[in-house]
Structure 1
Amino acid sequence: MRSPVEAVLLRVFVAESDHFHGRPLAEAIFMKALERKMAGATVLPGPEGFGHGRRIHSQINVDAAPCSPLIVEIVDTREKIDQFLPEVDEMVETGLVTLEIVRAISFSPDGALAGR
């Protein structure tokens, strides 16, 4: 079994209706992570959520505004995530960002996080 390495999981919680320079925000963050050669990124749909404004964003509540929550997850080393955070800060007007220390096992051919 490959050995786990310490990494950081960056989560960015946004709304489907959020945009950055005319592009959906989740897509803009995802593409910036790809451009920066981050180890991995995924955009996940959230069926329902709310933020600081307490407005429900939902795919399942017909009374709620038609705006689904999205979560962008990015995993890489602490150093690369720290370098990426100012770019996320520039793109996100409203939302939430969380950071979590994780133990990652990479199944890339060299066993290291991608882009090393």
Structure 2
Amino acid sequence: MTRLHGSALRLTIFVGEGDTFRHRPLYGEIIHRAHQAGLAGASAFRGIEGYGASSLIHTNRLLSLSEDLPVAIVIVDDAARVRAFLPQLDDLVTEGLVILDECEVIRYVGRHGEKRAK
């Protein structure tokens, strides 16, 4: 199990829910690659409304036809491991936003006896 405490980097990738890589949701591909790279953790969060470089507002409101809602993928690990992962995003993220923030990990604890997904 990866131990993580103290200074770390938070990598956040903003993409559209409809973005794909080889016919698979892009957010899922990024999370699977982060897992394969042994990063401490990754989560995808679906937004309810947002816009990006295109200035087109995407929303989940009933009267809106937009189905391409914003998705934020958040990955946290030590700086060296996160920076080593960045080149994988070059081929994946053709539209969107990728940011890095310094952060401090206060607590990182997994469930005891939990089996890892393969």
TM-score exceeds 0.5: yes
Matched residue type, 1:34: H
1:43–1:70: 8 Å Cα contact kept in structure 2? yes
Given candidates 84, 107, 110, the residue that maps to 2:109 is 107
Task: Tell me the CA shift for residue 31 of structure 1.
Answer: 0.6
Task: Tell me the CA shift for residue 56 of structure 1.
Answer: 1.0
Task: Tell me the CA shift for residue 106 of structure 1.
Answer: 2.1
Return the TM-score normalized by structure 1. 0.85
Task: Tell me the CA shift for residue 22 of structure 1.
Answer: 1.3
1:12–1:72: 8 Å Cα contact kept in structure 2? yes
Task: Tell me the CA shift for residue 62 of structure 1.
Answer: 2.4
Aligned residue in 2 for 1:113: none
Residues 1-116 of structure 1 mapped to structure 2, 5 A cutoff: 4-60=5-61, 62-104=63-105, 105-107=107-109
Matched residue type, 2:102: I
Task: Tell me the CA shift for residue 65 of structure 1.
Answer: 2.1
Number of aligned residue pairs: 107
Segments of 5+ residues of structure 2 without an aligned counterpart are 112-118
CA RMSD of aligned residues (A): 1.8
Q: Hey, what's the Cα distance between the residues in 2 that align with 1:103 and 1:33?
A: 20
Q: Hey, what's the Cα distance between the residues in 2 that align with 1:45 and 1:92?
A: 17
1:108 and 1:67, CA in 2 relative to 1: closer, same or farther beyond 3 A?
Answer: closer
2:27–2:44: 8 Å Cα contact kept in structure 1? yes
Segments of 5+ residues of structure 1 without an aligned counterpart are 110-116
Matched residues, percent identical? 32
Matched residue type, 1:88: L
Task: Tell me the CA shift for residue 63 of structure 1.
Answer: 3.1
